[in-house]
Homo-oligomer: A and B are copies of this chain.
């Protein structure tokens, strides 16, 4: 019989940390043995997140208080910059999944450009594997350090990787118009995240090609295409807590595109291709690790729209991380991740 794996979570007082706890609480072979949260050290998790009140969990402690000797895998759900500093000090053989942006970019110059600060752990970057499970599965299995992707970056790549790889779309004319829920911005105290500011309305942000997830798109799409690829990407904030939905506008043959997705995703447990022409909805993946994809032709010939939806905290972040953890720990990839979405 499989023995339970011992899990630590750093950054447990944020939304992705809490989502990891939620998911792992249903995982049959993982035990949470340490929860790190520097500012809230000393508190019970049930004080910080009362919805987890029914789960028997260790108290929040400071990272330095954690004994990593017996830990099989550590999730790091900290802000970028903090993350690289802390991971630098963790045992060199510890399996780690970092949910921050710190190890997503192979080229640390790109990190400097998009995140505005020098990378402090460029040596660790060399061993980091990009965590988009369906496309880096084998490398993740044998990785020690996996970098979780941006939630928007995951959505966009699910729509575009197969098409770019198969050379089915015009690489110079790709637009991702993406809508995202509020929880993607985390639990930080910003005026713009107050309920009174956000509810009952919507607005784009990070317009004009300034959103940091573009760094991931640039890296991955250029690698795939074998030449520089720059796309347009605009996110819009929705007055909902969870969910990303992206309209991806491409120039190419819609039916060939659909056929390619069929090929790419028919054996992928969490990727659900809708019947041709159907429309996905954020509410049909909410709280789950599933990703729904639709393809539709436009009335203008040779143009298609790919619509992708996923839950930013689950498939876009903590669910992806758990899926990767299963691979790294030699457990079934989908273990603990098959709960149905919550609707209504």
Q: Judge if A53 is at the interface, Cβ distance under 8 Å.
A: yes
Assuming the contacts A209-B299, A281-B50, A342-B22, asked whether A191 and B187 have C-beta atoms less than 8 A apart, the reply is yes
Q: Chain B residues with Cβ under 8 A from A292's Cβ? A: 50, 53
Among A104-112, A129-137, A234-242, the stretch that binds chain B is A234-242
Say which residue of B177, B209, B210 sits within 8 Å of A247 (CB atoms).
B177
Among A149-157, A259-267, A272-280, the stretch that binds chain B is A272-280
**B187 close to A194 (CB less than 8 A):** yes
Q: Judge if A344 is at the interface, Cβ distance under 8 Å.
A: yes
Say which residue of B18, B49, B202, B232 sits within 8 Å of A238 (CB atoms).
B202
- Cα distance A344–B192 in the bound complex, in angstroms: 12
State the oligomeric state as a number of copies: 4
Q: Chain B residues with Cβ under 8 A from A51's Cβ? A: 283-286, 288, 340-343
Q: Chain B residues with Cβ under 8 A from A297's Cβ? A: 208
**A196 close to B300 (CB less than 8 A):** no
Q: Chain B residues with Cβ under 8 A from A238's Cβ? A: 202, 238-239
**A196 close to B299 (CB less than 8 A):** no
Assuming the contacts A203-B282, A230-B299, A239-B195, asked whether A340 and B54 have C-beta atoms less than 8 A apart, the reply is yes
Nearest residue (CB) in B for A184 is B196
- Cα distance A52–B284 in the bound complex, in angstroms: 8
Say which residue of B201, B205, B282, B298 sits within 8 Å of A286 (CB atoms).
B201
Chain B proximity mask over A217-257: 1 for CB below 8 Å, otherwise 0 = 00000000000001010101011111101010100000000
Q: Judge if A122 is at the interface, Cβ distance under 8 Å.
A: no
What residues of chain A have their CB less than 8 Å away from a CB belonging to chain B? 15, 18, 21-22, 25-26, 49-55, 173, 175, 177, 179, 182-183, 187, 189-191, 193-205, 207-210, 214, 230, 232, 234, 236, 238-243, 245, 247, 249, 272, 274, 277, 279-288, 290, 292, 296-300, 303, 305, 307, 309, 338-344
- 11 inter-chain pairs at a CB distance below 8 angstroms, sorted by A residue, are A177-B177, A196-B344, A199-B200, A200-B286, A201-B286, A202-B240, A203-B279, A203-B309, A204-B247, A214-B299, A236-B245
Apart from A187-B196, A287-B287, list 9 A-B contacts with CB within 8 A. Answer: A26-B338, A50-B280, A51-B288, A182-B344, A189-B194, A199-B240, A201-B282, A201-B286, A232-B300
